Amino acid sequence: MTAPLLGVIADDFTGATDAANMLARVGLSAAVLIGVPALDAELVSHADALVVALKSRTVPVAGAVTDSLAALAWLRTQGCGQFYFKYCSTFDSTPHGNIGPVADALLDALGETFTVVCPALPVNGRTVYGGHLFVGGQLLSDSPMRDHPLTPMTDANLLRVLAQQTSRRVGLADAAGVERGEEALRGQLARLRAEGVGYAVVDATNDAHLRTLARAASHLKLLTGGSGLAGALGEDYRMGGQLAPVSGTAPRHVISRALILSGSCSAATRAQVAQFAAQHPAFTIDPLALSRDPAGTLAQIVDWLKQDWGGQSLLVSSSAPSDQVKEVQRLLGTERAASLIEELLSDLAVASGDLDFNTLVVAGGETSGAVVGALGVQALEVGPEIDPGVPWTLALPERRLALALKSGNFGTPDFFEKALRVWA
């Protein structure tokens, strides 16, 4: 058994499967561990990369730091050679954190003082230029992320955003340096480090820039970023001939019944929900009715799932446009609204197992964290890609339940149909 090359700490579950997908794309075997494992590492002992999925993006800072350090400690015991902190390609965070405090704690624990920061994911339209984050060509602060229910992003300047979250100095490795190639960028990073910078935000507007960065930063013990840089790092391992030969068979799955659970209000998910609901049975959650009678709402939806739908795939969703979300948050409080909906969708996921559903698509990072936690899944094997950043996964060790955890803004409008076609 060889030690894994890379240990990834992901701050949410969809981000974890996104990173695992990008690593698998370039030929690494990657396993996703749900939470810090209390599990027999034998189960994942073949993997080139271990990805620990945390739900640390929006929890209080202290909890995020504790969980991330526990994940790092576990990955170190597995012998990982290098570490990666995966956060969202839209840098989802608040002025308190959690990206800065978690990165600070990981650097301290590793005895390091410097790392790179690059959320760019060009395949999904997220690019960094002049230290500013763009989403589909729009500044982050002009994109739908400005209305995110939990982490509204109203500033696209990553240096400013990160500086609010850390006492370490934040600097920029700009596009000109990246364009000049690996050696020039390595020199630029070294200069920033010598000037006392702890975090170098690095510009990247395409995959070649990410590959340059992965090579220029390959000596760092810890790198941080989105799944794009993680994939580029994987590519670097492959080019360096460091991967173990591929073993085992491709994951397979036969759908008995499929259920889609959406708690994501992101623009992409809302379009996907609308398209699927136009052709399939769909139940829309009313958060205010839910707050008045959580048990009654659960019972009502379980009865709905039990109806004879002739084998069709079903959708249950709370997805709503931002004005409705804001009104619900005003009436219920943001956290109460979120936890009521997350609990309901989790309870439905658990109940679905007794109703012969063996295939779940979950939309939304927070929602996925809640659902997978409630299901008690320990680890996921990464299967075929549905859309960039969203793979099918099979729950280990039985591989009977297939799960797709979709980040809010990922996937084409026909994502749900496309996902189910993969196993047809």
Ligand X SMILES: Nc1ncnc2c1ncn2[C@@H]1O[C@H](COP(=O)(O)OP(=O)(O)OP(=O)(O)O)[C@@H](O)[C@H]1O
Ligand Y SMILES: O=C(O)[C@@H](O)C(=O)CO
**Regarding beta strands 379-387 and 30-34, do their DSSP bridges make them parallel or antiparallel, or are they unpaired?**
antiparallel
Residue 341 interacts with ligand X (CB under 6 A): yes or no: yes
Q: Which does 342 bind (CB under 5 to 8 A by kind): ligand Y, ligand X, none?
A: ligand X
Contact 128, 140 (CB under 8 A): no
Beta bridge partners of 394: 381, 402
For residue 36, what are the CA distances in angstroms to 70, 158, 350, 373?
Answer: 7, 29, 21, 12
Residue 99 interacts with ligand X (CB under 6 A): yes or no: no
Adjacency order of strands within the sheet including 138-139: 126-129, 132-135, 138-139
Residue 342 interacts with ligand X (CB under 6 A): yes or no: yes
**Local structure of residue 280 (DSSP, 8 states):** S
In the set 89, 264, 352, 393, which binds ligand X (CB under 6 A)?
A: 264
In the set 17, 89, 227, 407, which binds ligand X (CB under 6 A)?
A: 407
In the set 365, 383, 388, 391, which binds ligand Y (CB under 6 A)?
A: 365
Kindly give the interhelix angle for 334-352 and 365-375, rounded to the nearest 10 degrees.
50
In the set 144, 226, 234, 383, which binds ligand Y (CB under 6 A)?
A: 226
Which DSSP string do the residues of 138-173 spell out, in sequence order?
Answer: EEGGGSGGGG-SS------BHHHHHHTT-SSEEEEE
Q: Mask of contacts with ligand Y, 371-390, x by CB under 6 A?
A: ------------------x-
Residue 348 interacts with ligand X (CB under 6 A): yes or no: no
By beta-carbon proximity to ligand X, the closer residue of 75 and 88 is: 88
In the set 24, 54, 325, 403, which binds ligand X (CB under 6 A)?
A: 325
**Regarding beta strands 314-317 and 359-363, do their DSSP bridges make them parallel or antiparallel, or are they unpaired?**
unpaired
The Cα–Cα gap between 265 and 284 comes to: 12
Q: How many of the chain's residues bind ligand Y (CB under 6 A)?
A: 13
In the set 165, 166, 224, 227, which binds ligand Y (CB under 6 A)?
A: 227
Residue 165 interacts with ligand Y (CB under 6 A): yes or no: no
Q: Which does 338 bind (CB under 5 to 8 A by kind): ligand Y, ligand X, none?
A: ligand X
The Cα–Cα gap between 390 and 267 comes to: 17
Give the position of tokens 């597995």: 78
Residue 18 interacts with ligand X (CB under 6 A): yes or no: no
Residue 56 interacts with ligand Y (CB under 6 A): yes or no: no
In the set 4, 7, 12, 261, which binds ligand Y (CB under 6 A)?
A: 12
In the set 56, 89, 127, 269, which binds ligand X (CB under 6 A)?
A: 269
Beta bridge partners of 360: 259, 403
- Residue (of 158, 173, 93) closest to 126 by Cα position: 158
Among the candidate windows 45-53, 169-177, 336-344, 387-395, which touches ligand X by CB under 6 A? 336-344
By beta-carbon proximity to ligand Y, the closer residue of 4 and 365 is: 365
Q: How far is the CB of 38 from ligand Y (least distance, A)?
A: 24
For residue 258, what are the CA distances in angstroms to 295, 315, 342?
Answer: 23, 9, 19
By beta-carbon proximity to ligand X, the closer residue of 37 and 144 is: 144
Residue 388 interacts with ligand X (CB under 6 A): yes or no: no
By beta-carbon proximity to ligand X, the closer residue of 98 and 264 is: 264
Which phi and psi angles does 383 have, rounded to 5°? -110, -150
Token pair listed for 197? 């910078």
- Site residues for ligand Y per CB under 6 A: 12, 14-15, 18, 88-90, 121, 226-227, 365, 389, 407
